[in-house]
């Protein structure tokens, strides 16, 4: 059993590699599932609602601990539900990077299927809410799309709400991007697989022309291996996932959301990810009148924030997300 970490009133339950029967008829093979940790305000009574929290490219679930604590606290104080936040390390990232059973192709479809396999292997109820940042936002959209068309079996139920945080829902045109992500990935691929220290890597990235905040964030994704530091992610697998992120489009899901699903898009005011025509198309969908047989799409703008919404303006993000989750029927 993993050691329980306590922080104030919050309880953290790290979960590492698990291997349990899927429970499918005629299928007895063991399934290796994603690493995750749970954030709850109070463990004295059982939780009644669950939100999955998905990080972005090269990140991990721990990036969202602080925001998840605050969200759980806000929901605890303002609703009758007892919420659990499940912070997932997606395939090739964080502690899931060491899991050998998550086979390629490393694309959004399999990243979303990993979530379904995690739910099934743990015997959980299907999540009420899925929150995804950047690449995680598109994984959330794929998860909902696959649930709606029955890819995960009859037991699967749609989440009631998706939060897609500063994630372009359509194909990403390289000509409309500043190329920063591509440059970072190309640079990381050119580096050795281990480093003498985090400081060495940060200083090296700064010398290559990257900003200090970006360089420090890249340096935070290291883990100790003997007397050296190495990546806490599988770089090639992450590159494959990024390529899938750029190629996939979920405009059709936004144009025809399934009944019972609320999709909330948050666009950071100062984010450089959004082209004018994408913003216009998104706002048009957000203002569209829909009948009772359709789901809903809403668009929110987070002021005073760039792409890193949970760092640039976590209070503002909380003020957008928490009241809307509380209002779920």
Q: What is the pLDDT of residues 70-106, one digit of tens each?
A: 999 999 988 888 999 999 999 999 999 999 889 999 9
- CA-CA distance, 2 to 42, in Å (whole number)? 18
Query: Average of pLDDT values for 242-267?
Result: 97
| The predicted structure's pLDDT at residue 5 | 35
Q: Is the pLDDT of residue 15 over 90?
A: no
pTM: 0.89
Query: Are 266 and 165 spatial neighbours (Cβ–Cβ below 8 Å)?
Result: yes
Query: Average of pLDDT values for 130-142?
Result: 98
Class of CATH domain 36-172+247-325: alpha beta
- CA-CA distance, 297 to 242, in Å (whole number)? 25
| The predicted structure's pLDDT at residue 178 | 63
Q: What percent of the chain has pLDDT over 90?
A: 75
Q: What is the pLDDT of residues 275-310, one digit of tens each?
A: 999 999 999 998 888 888 899 999 999 999 999 999
- CA-CA distance, 248 to 266, in Å (whole number)? 19
Q: What is the pLDDT of residues 46-57, one digit of tens each?
A: 999 999 999 999
Location of each CATH 3.40.50.1820 domain in the chain:
36-172+247-325
Confidence label for 31 from pLDDT (cuts 50, 70 and 90): low
Query: Are 97 and 114 spatial neighbours (Cβ–Cβ below 8 Å)?
Result: no
- CA-CA distance, 297 to 283, in Å (whole number)? 10
| Cα→Cα distances 117→22, 122, 173, 189, Å | 8, 8, 31, 30
| Cα→Cα distances 72→40, 77, 225, 283, Å | 7, 9, 34, 29
| The predicted structure's pLDDT at residue 7 | 40
């Amino acid at each position: 059993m993993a050691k329980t970490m306590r922080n104030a009133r919050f309880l953290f339950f790290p979960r590492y590699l698990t291997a349990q029967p899927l429970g499918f008829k005629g299928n007895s093979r063991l399934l290796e599932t994603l690493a995750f940790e749970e954030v709850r305000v109070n463990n004295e009574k059982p939780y009644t609602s669950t939100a999955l929290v998905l990080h972005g490219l090269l990140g991990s679930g721990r990036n969202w601990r602080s925001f998840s604590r605050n969200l759980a606290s806000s929901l605890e104080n303002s609703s009758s539900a007892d919420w659990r936040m499940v912070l997932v390390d997606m395939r090739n990232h964080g502690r899931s990077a060491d899991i050998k059973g998550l086979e390629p192709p490393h694309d959004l479809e399999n990243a979303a299927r990993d979530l379904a396999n995690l739910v099934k292997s743990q015997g959980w109820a299907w999540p009420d809410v899925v929150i995804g940042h950047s690449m995680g936002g598109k994984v959330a959209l794929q998860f909902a799309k696959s649930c709606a068309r029955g890819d995960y079996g009859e037991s699967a139920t749609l989440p009631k709400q998706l939060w897609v945080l500063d994630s372009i829902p359509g194909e990403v045109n390289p000509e409309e991007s500043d190329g920063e992500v591509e440059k970072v990935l190309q640079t990381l691929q050119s580096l050795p697989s281990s480093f003498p220290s985090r400081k060495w890597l940060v200083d090296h990235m700064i010398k290559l022309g990257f900003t200090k905040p970006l360089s420090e964030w890249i340096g935070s994704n290291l883990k100790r291996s003997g007397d050296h530091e190495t990546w806490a992610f599988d770089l090639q697998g992450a590159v494959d996932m990024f390529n899938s992120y750029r190629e996939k489009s979920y405009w059709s899901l936004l144009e025809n959301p399934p009944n019972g699903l609320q999709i909330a898009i948050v666009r950071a005011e100062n984010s450089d990810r959004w082209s004018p025509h994408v913003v216009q198309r998104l706002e048009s969908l957000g203002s569209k009148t829909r009948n009772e047989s359709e789901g809903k799409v809403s668009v929110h703008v987070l002021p005073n924030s760039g792409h890193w919404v949970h760092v640039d303006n976590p209070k503002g993000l909380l003020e957008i997300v928490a009241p809307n989750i509380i209002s779920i029927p």
